[in-house]
Amino acid sequence: MPAPALLPAIFAGASAVATGVGAYEQYKGSKQAAAVDTATANYNASVDRAQAQQLDANTLENIRTEREANEQYLSREAASYASAGVLSTSGSALHAQVVNAGLLEQRIQQQYVDSLQKQQQYYASAAIGVAEGQAQAESDTLAGNLALINGGAKIASTLYGASQSGAFSGLFGKTTKGGP
C-alpha cells in the first residue's frame, strides 16, 4: 500500500491515542485534585479544632486569674468595711459583698458560656469543612471517571468513523472470499 494511502489510518490512530492520553491525564489530574481537596479540608479542620482547644485553655486561665482578682477585690472590700468600723458579716455590708460577689461570678460564667459557644462554632466549622472537602473530592473523582468514559467514546467514534470512511481499507492486505 502506498504511503499516502496510509495517512488517513495514521491520523485516525494518532487521534485515538491522543484522545486516550488526554482522557487519562484528566483522570490522573482529578485524582490529584481529590487528594488536595481532602488534605486541605482535613488541615483546615485541624486548625479549627486547635483554635477551639486553645480558646478553651485561654478561657479557663482567664477565669482562674479573674477569680483570683475578684477574691482580692472582695477581701479589700471587707477590709475597707472593717477599717471603717462596719461589721462586714452582717446587714448592709454583707448584702453589698454578696451582691458584688454574685455579679463578679455572673460575669465569669457569661465569659465561659460565650467561650463554649465560640468553641462549638469552631468544631462545627471543622465538621462542615471536612464534609465539603469530601464532597469536592468525590466530585473531582467523578469528573475524572467521566473523562475516561468520554475519552473512550471519542476513541470509538474516531475509529468507527475512520473505518466507515475507508481509512483502514487495504491495511491488512487483500482478503478474498473464496470457496472450494
Instruction: Tell whether 102 is covered by a domain.
Output: yes
Domain count, the chain: 1
What is residue 88's predicted lDDT score, i.e. its pLDDT? Answer: 65
Cα–Cα distance measured from residue 125 to residue 58, given in angstroms and rounded to the nearest whole number: 20
Which of 77, 82, 76 has its CA nearest to residue 97? 77
Domain assignment present for residue 176? The answer is no
If phi > 0 it is left, if psi is from -120 to 50 it is alpha, else beta; for residue 94 that is alpha
The C-alpha atoms of residue 31 and residue 137 are separated, in whole angstroms, by: 8
**The C-alpha cell of 11 is what?**
491520523
Q: Domain for residue 173, yes or no?
A: no
Residue 25 lies in a domain: yes
Crossing angle of helices 91-164 and 3-83, rounded to 10°: 180
Position 172 in a domain:
no
User: Tens of pLDDT along the chain (180 residues)?
Assistant: 456 667 777 888 888 899 999 999 999 999 999 999 999 999 999 999 999 999 999 999 999 999 999 999 989 888 888 887 777 667 788 888 889 999 999 999 999 999 999 999 999 999 999 999 999 999 999 999 999 999 999 999 988 888 888 777 766 655 445 555
Eight-state DSSP code of residue 90? S
**Alpha helices, DSSP H, located in the chain:** 3-83, 91-164
Compute how many other C-beta atoms are within 10 angstroms of the C-beta atom of residue 93: 18
Q: Which residue type does 36 have?
A: V
Task: Tell me what pLDDT residue 108 has.
Answer: 95
* Residue 175: inside a domain: no
Residue 105 lies in a domain: yes
What is the residue whose three cell numbers read 475512520? Answer: 162
pLDDT score at 172: 61
pLDDT at position 175: 47
**Domain of residue 143, residue span:** 7-164
* Residue 60 maps to a domain: yes
